Structure 1
Amino acid sequence: MVVKGPGSGTLRKTHRGRRPPTRPEGEKPGLAARRTAARLLGAVVDAHTPLDALTDGEHGHPHFLALAPRDRALVRAILASALRHRRTIETLLQGYLERPLPAGAHALSHILHVGAAQILFLDVPDSAAVDLAVSHAAADPRAARFSRLVNAVLRRLARDRQKTLPRALAQTCDAPDWLAERLTAVYGAVQARAIMEAHRREPPVDFTVKTDPSLWAERLGGRVLANGSVRVERLPAPVPDLPGYAEGQWWVQDAAASLPARLLGDVTGRAVADLCAAPGGKTAQLALAGAQVTALDQSASRLARLNANLQRLGLAATLVESDLRRWRPERPFDAVLLDAPCSSTGTIRRHPDVAWTKTPEDIATMAQVQEQLLESALLLVRPGGPLVFSNCSLDPAEGEALVEALLARRQDVTLDPIQPGELPGAEDFIAPQGWLRTTPAGGGALADVDGFFAVRLRRLR
């Protein structure tokens, strides 16, 4: 059931209905994929466009949608490598340039980065990567006069990579300066470096399973984590083709993302609100645990995705399309989970574009939004009931500092500290203050997870 409330969102415009571009007759195979990769890389780093939107299978960029599935996969791999290692690639390329690229030569820079990503990090023949980059440059009026430079630089990069790449990786932090400085200020130089090293690696895939984790670990080729999630280091097939997907036996959910819902305790038969709920992993957890879940989100398209996920899983919830800041239900809930929108810096391993699309200003803006959402969420929980606030940011402005400010100004709200035994495997992530802070560089029984913050609060009256 979907209920529209105040502030309901509207479906965003998409590229559906546009005629996709076609490959010109006689064009080299593979060139369209490289050209698309460079175009999308520019959209990410120059226009701060989220990569998921550009590579969405239904509503993505028209040049991406025009590609065959195999070429789409190659574009995604190129972009992931180019973004995860952007500073390293930049450093190596600069070493082969007698002078910096001309101001505004963005197209040329993106062509070089796409070629370098293949040479340094992907299983693509050097000759193919260089040849297609040169052809791309020669066909682009903005870069044509530099095609010989592209050829020379990428050939030298390929020739020297065994010597130069390890040194560049050791000396470079693959993050924008503002993010590296911010992580260092919060976590210290050693821990910040470890977090940024984790951002370079493709993460494993975690699954929350409905029954028998050991069985699904065997069937999926993974292992059971201390919290009950099943982890697979490398997927043997696309997610929809894996055993159990069609039958709704599991859903993809990072192990850290599975922790906040557990902080509500036993929710059997209780009325629970999952706020900002899409795409629905936590909604599914709560429904599976026996809660009467109301899942709220202001985006119609995201709610449609949540509904589809619940249908596949055979789980039920009441869906409400509304802006949390304006929504007032008839009665308060027994428990509330607010997994708030944030800068998403804790998910850079999975979404390397986040490092290059977000800014310090975005963090400040999101912290203000989270403060508003948290104040609104407190109105929805009955006195004495738990409210869990969480997000996938690594920045304390969106977590620890925000909660401390709330507790300082609200005498009717108290912190309910998380006890170590509540979250098996996550003991090392529980801070002395009683909240949860995971990082990709954390250790213990539940290592190699996304960055997450979670805290449990209670209204006194």
Structure 2
Amino acid sequence: MKSAKAKSGSHPKQKSRGSRSESTGASAGPEEKQGLRSRQTAAKILGAVIDRKTPLDGMLDAEHGNAAYAALSEADRALVRAIINTALRHLPRIEAILNSLVETPLPEGARALHHVLAVAAAQILYLDVPDHSAVDIAVDQAKADPRNRRFANLVNAVLRRLAREKANHLSAVQSIPAIPSWFFDRLVDVYGREHALRISEAQLVPAPIDLTVKSDPEQWAARLGGSVLPTGTVRLSAFSGTVPSLEGFAEGEWWVQDAAASIPAKLFGNVEGQSVADLCAAPGGKTAQLVLAGAKVTALDQSASRLRRLVGNLDRLRLQASTIEANAGNFRPEFPFDAVLLDAPCSSTGTIRRHPDVLWTKGPQDIAKLAEVQEKLLRHAMGMVKPGGKLVFSNCSLDPLEGEEVTKHVLASQPEWTIEPVDAKNWQGLEQAITALGEIRTTPAMFPAHDSAAGGMDGFYAVVLRRLGTSS
């Protein structure tokens, strides 16, 4: 933000020391306005994401996350989540609007004020919150924080003007990409400006619920009110409530898995009776697919807690796999496998519809570091595959540095390995996701909305690699 004076001409005046908000310090006291704590919490968590690069999931854990968030009622937690996710999805546009409403630079250390304004603007512009409520609570936030008290009049003037002129401001920023410029520029370089803009717009819509079903997708789509995608995934058209309350959950008939995430395990083809390793397996969606397909699966994860979650998920699904707590980069099996799935750790930039904090907590340096990790894991995983066997390498990044470039670099020094191109005729409806080399590359902009269901899918990269030779 670039100013501490509203362009309307109003100037912040310091409140007298006798005000109730000032006398209570950072907390507004027992008579505080309803909804104040939830907005204070939203501003603090938003600041942690943007300024300290703290992942959102951990802070929103009701048991082990942010203490202020955990202390709220479930209704207030839901409001905090809505505010934060909305602010993150639209942040470049929100900041452009706020910058247009003020004119002289804020003093150093005014980031807390920035987050108060961003939280209020997200409500005024994009959420079903009364404008006067968003403004009044934001002013109270400013008054309750010693760092921001002297800006209370500024907050009031800027937000009231925003509320009056919201339609004009929304129209003025419509052409601004809704994702950070560093990442938008990378997308333009790879996909072209038009596709990059479609990805930017796609992340504004929260991802729908996708289910991988054990059998008969058409039947489950009819029973749950969804539609069947080209991947065989059942996408729910409208969803409210909790996932465990849905028909078939307790019976283990399906599991939640984005349509794109269901692709890598299917690329092996027929794995009936084969030994297959899933090297970074938790939470277990791909493991379940492989077991269901008849493979003898060994599932690895280096995290004991994540592995317990995987086992719990398989138990609900009434599926079994061998599990090993191990780092995939150090694991050396007694015998090589017929096939290996390496869904490698990555920047997760393909999941921005579900996790809008990703682009604010990671940067180019993270992508480069993770690409190095992936290359090491891929080289190591190749040693676990029998001659003639397959390896599927995948991840949920949109950046080729973590996908296509890793594959290209590794294959350049591995003459006994080759890409086995994906056959487009086996993936009707997904032809646009198949690259010239026969790899899979999906983006959130690839699936249009269908009927009442939201469109899009996670950004994923996947490639089938075959080790030349025959097993002795």
- Report the TM-score when normalising by structure 1: 0.92
Q: 1:42 aligns with which of 39, 47, 57?
A: 47
Shift of 1:173: 1.0
Q: Which moved more, 1:399-408 or 1:25-34?
A: 25-34
Alignment of 1:148-297 (within 5 A): 148-169=153-174, 171-297=175-301
Structure 2 CA distance for aligned equivalents of residues 385 and 147 of structure 1: 66
Quick check: 2:281–2:287 contact (8 Å CA) kept in 1? yes
Aligned equivalent of 2:110: 105
Quick check: 2:43–2:116 contact (8 Å CA) kept in 1? yes
Aligned equivalent of 1:12: none
Q: 1:452 aligns with which of 455, 460, 465?
A: 460
Structure 1 CA distance for aligned equivalents of residues 423 and 197 of structure 2: 29
Quick check: 2:275–2:296 contact (8 Å CA) kept in 1? yes
AA of the residue aligned to 2:464: R
Shift of 1:445: 10
Structure 2 CA distance for aligned equivalents of residues 36 and 129 of structure 1: 14
Quick check: 2:275–2:297 contact (8 Å CA) kept in 1? yes
Q: Which moved more, 1:195-204 or 1:378-387?
A: 195-204
Shift of 1:449: 1.0
Structure 2 CA distance for aligned equivalents of residues 311 and 267 of structure 1: 21
Structure 2 CA distance for aligned equivalents of residues 212 and 255 of structure 1: 16
SS in 1 for 2:159: helix
Q: Which moved more, 1:60-69 or 1:81-90?
A: 60-69
Shift of 1:443: 4.7
Q: 1:380 aligns with which of 375, 380, 384?
A: 384
Q: Which runs of 5+ in 1 are unaligned?
A: 1-21
Structure 1 CA distance for aligned equivalents of residues 388 and 331 of structure 2: 21
AA of the residue aligned to 2:461: F
The Cα offsets for residues 307-330 of structure 1, whole Å up to 9 and x where unpaired, read as 221112111111111111111111
Aligned equivalent of 1:32: 37
Quick check: 1:426–1:444 contact (8 Å CA) kept in 2? no
Aligned equivalent of 1:81: 86
Give RMSD over aligned pairs. Answer: 1.7
SS in 1 for 2:441: strand
Quick check: 1:337–1:389 contact (8 Å CA) kept in 2? yes
Structure 2 CA distance for aligned equivalents of residues 205 and 261 of structure 1: 19
Q: Which moved more, 1:86-95 or 1:447-456?
A: 447-456
AA of the residue aligned to 1:298: Q
SS in 1 for 2:238: coil
Quick check: 1:274–1:295 contact (8 Å CA) kept in 2? yes
Quick check: 1:224–1:230 contact (8 Å CA) kept in 2? yes
Structure 1 210/358 Cα, relative in aligned 2: closer, same or farther at 3 Å?
A: same
Shift of 1:340: 0.4
Q: 2:432 aligns with which of 406, 428, 431?
A: 428
AA of the residue aligned to 1:450: D
Structure 1 CA distance for aligned equivalents of residues 224 and 107 of structure 2: 50
Quick check: 2:447–2:457 contact (8 Å CA) kept in 1? no
Quick check: 2:302–2:325 contact (8 Å CA) kept in 1? yes
The Cα offsets for residues 70-123 of structure 1, whole Å up to 9 and x where unpaired, read as 111111110110000000000111111122332321110011111111111111
Structure 1 runs of 4+ with >3 Å offset: 443-447
Structure 2 CA distance for aligned equivalents of residues 317 and 57 of structure 1: 30
Aligned equivalent of 2:322: 318
Q: Which moved more, 1:261-270 or 1:366-375?
A: 261-270
Percent identity between the two aligned chains:
58
Structure 1 CA distance for aligned equivalents of residues 91 and 464 of structure 2: 37
Quick check: 1:226–1:445 contact (8 Å CA) kept in 2? no
Aligned equivalent of 1:144: 149
AA of the residue aligned to 1:62: A
Shift of 1:218: 2.3
Structure 2 CA distance for aligned equivalents of residues 26 and 113 of structure 1: 25
Aligned equivalent of 2:77: 72
Aligned equivalent of 1:17: none
Quick check: 1:428–1:443 contact (8 Å CA) kept in 2? no
Matched, 1:92 2:97: yes
Shift of 1:194: 1.2
What is the total number of aligned residue pairs between the two structures? 439
Alignment of 1:397-436 (within 5 A): 397-436=401-440
Quick check: 2:351–2:396 contact (8 Å CA) kept in 1? yes
Quick check: 1:94–1:100 contact (8 Å CA) kept in 2? no
Quick check: 1:120–1:161 contact (8 Å CA) kept in 2? yes
Structure 2 CA distance for aligned equivalents of residues 304 and 374 of structure 1: 25
AA of the residue aligned to 1:47: R
SS in 2 for 1:383: strand
Shift of 1:26: 2.3
- Report the TM-score when normalising by structure 2: 0.90
Q: 2:62 aligns with which of 52, 57, 63?
A: 57
Shift of 1:127: 1.4
Structure 1 CA distance for aligned equivalents of residues 299 and 64 of structure 2: 25
Structure 1 232/100 Cα, relative in aligned 2: closer, same or farther at 3 Å?
A: farther
Q: Which moved more, 1:381-390 or 1:188-197?
A: 188-197
Q: Which one has the largest radius of gyration?
A: 2
Higher RCO, 1 vs 2 (CA within 8 Å, ≥6 residues apart): 1
AA of the residue aligned to 1:45: I
Structure 2 CA distance for aligned equivalents of residues 194 and 353 of structure 1: 19
Q: Which moved more, 1:90-99 or 1:445-454?
A: 445-454
